[in-house]
Amino acid sequence: MNDSAIFDEMWGHGETPRAPYADIDGWFNQEDPARLRRKAREAEALFRLTGITFNVYGDKAAGERLIPFDIVPRVIAGREWERLSRGIEQRVRAINAFLHDIYHRQEILRAGRVPVEAIARNAAFLPEMIGVDPPGGVYTHIVGTDLVRTGEDEFYVLEDNARTPSGVSYMLENRETMLAMFPELFMKTRVRQVSSYPAMLHRSLCASAPTHANGKPVVAVLTPGSYNSAYYEHSFLADKMGVQLVEGHDLRVVDGRVAMRTTQGYQPIDVLYRRVDDDWIDPLNFNPDSALGVPGIMDVYRAGGLTLANAPGTGIADDKAIYSYMPEIVEFYTGEKAILKNVPTWRCAEREALAYVLDNLPELVVKEVHGSGGYGMLIGPTASKKELAAFRQKLKARPGNYIAQPTLSLSTVPIFTRAGLAPRHVDLRPFVLVSPEGVTITPGGLTRVALKKGSLVVNSSQGGGTKDTWVLEE
């Protein structure tokens, strides 16, 4: 990939900083590098003290890791954000309409805009949700839409996280850390705040409560437990919302309601923000070996006695094979062309697409349809001959398990290194709240950054870090 073709968000393709970064450039030029290095160490110590760590599955030697934090904020102009917000809202509304349709009349399948086999043979489709009407008609209460940038006005949606999107706690802690480390920066730059997210999340969840919920709905956060990689976030959000953090063994079905154990006995819950996957949420309806869920919770849900956020079965909307149909899905349900583009995608289940992918594997990125976290993927341009040969065999053996995409020239933003500022590739995960009251998008989101020079993999499990994301007031 030619570095000159890569769009740098601070410098563009020139030597003068772009307008959104003018204050950052001026600040950095006036700063003593030794002070910045000291502040970076202080930020790391603060993260350790707060306990902001994550677990890496399958890495016994790793234990808990600290997600690296870079002190140079990523800056997005207000006008850029307004366009992104319109595109994100359009997409999220289409996803909710799509989910309602495929679990009810399936008009999009009848119209031939999405093939029946893409749903019928998809492990993420949940037959138990057919005919179920979630309270308020909302399926995806919390969405994380991953975006990448390739130019001044070129943004693409990389994927739609509609099951249990994580990372919002890092967005909030990154901002708190920057405010503590560099308060003077916020005095000279008008940055839109993100601190109200927990209050907005609580309000959105309450607005999605079943109709029988009287007064103030009772909300709780369901976690798989302290060994889960995102446990810090589960406890963080429960604490910030002022609600109970519960595990499956804290809950039971009482008189047709899901109730949580308290010192005063069992208290009925109206809304459960669950961070437990579909397969594990109810051993009576799904995996019988699950000790993480609640026996009978799906029966209460289907009867309208509880709101589950997000709704079971939402995984079909962020499945990577369905992703390739998102332009058609957006147009079908909104009557408009998609504001935000998809990355061009080859479905390896299709014979011609598979042939193209096999012929051009060194130039492509190949992903597992149900994969996440950067696992199970191939980045052709950086892969060895041995890795390419092994992946060819995987594709031939199970072509329907993969999609392929071109290697995009992802934008870069500066990170702070001992040698000064250096460009690194990034993506962005804005967080979206959906309720019967409407769609709310927090200005900014989680910027994930590939800390290794030239790397395109930003996932924390693969060595990536995070940044504070600034959306400027216009």
Position 78 in a domain: no
Largest Cα–Cα separation, the chain: 68
CATH assignment of the domain containing 393: 3.30.1490.270
Residue 155 lies in a domain: no
pLDDT at 188: 86
The answer as to whether 378 is a domain residue is yes
Q: Residue 376's pLDDT is what? A: 73
Alpha-carbon distance of 187 to 182, in angstroms, equals 9
Q: Cβ atoms within 10 A of the Cβ of 312, count?
A: 26
Scanning 136-262, the segments in alpha helix (DSSP H) are 168-181, 183-188, 197-207, 231-241
Structural domain contains residue 358: yes
Residue 3, pLDDT score: 64
pLDDT of residue 33: 92
In this predicted structure, what is the pLDDT of residue 1?
45
Q: Is residue 400 part of a domain?
A: yes
Is 364 domain-assigned?
Answer: yes
Judge whether 247 lies within some domain: no
Number of domains in the chain: 1
How do the pLDDT tens digits run along the chain, 474 residues long?
Answer: 446 689 999 999 888 999 999 999 999 999 999 999 999 999 888 887 776 655 544 444 445 567 889 999 999 999 999 999 999 999 999 999 999 999 999 999 999 999 999 999 888 999 999 999 999 999 999 999 999 999 999 999 999 999 989 999 999 999 999 999 999 999 889 999 999 999 999 999 999 999 988 789 999 999 999 888 889 999 999 999 999 999 999 999 999 999 999 999 999 999 999 999 999 999 999 999 999 999 999 999 999 999 999 999 999 998 888 999 999 999 999 999 999 999 999 999 899 999 999 999 999 999 988 766 556 789 888 889 999 999 999 999 999 889 999 988 899 999 999 888 999 999 999 999 999 999 999 999 999 999 888 887 787 666 789 999 999 997
State residue 210's pLDDT score.
96
H runs (alpha helix) in 242-383: 297-302, 315-318, 320-323, 326-334, 351-359
Does any domain span residue 355? yes
pLDDT at 375: 63
Distance CA 195, CA 174 (A): 11
Q: Which domain holds residue 348?
A: 344-407
Phi-psi region of 221 (alpha: psi -120 to 50; beta: other; left: phi over 0): beta
Per-residue model confidence (pLDDT) at position 65: 66
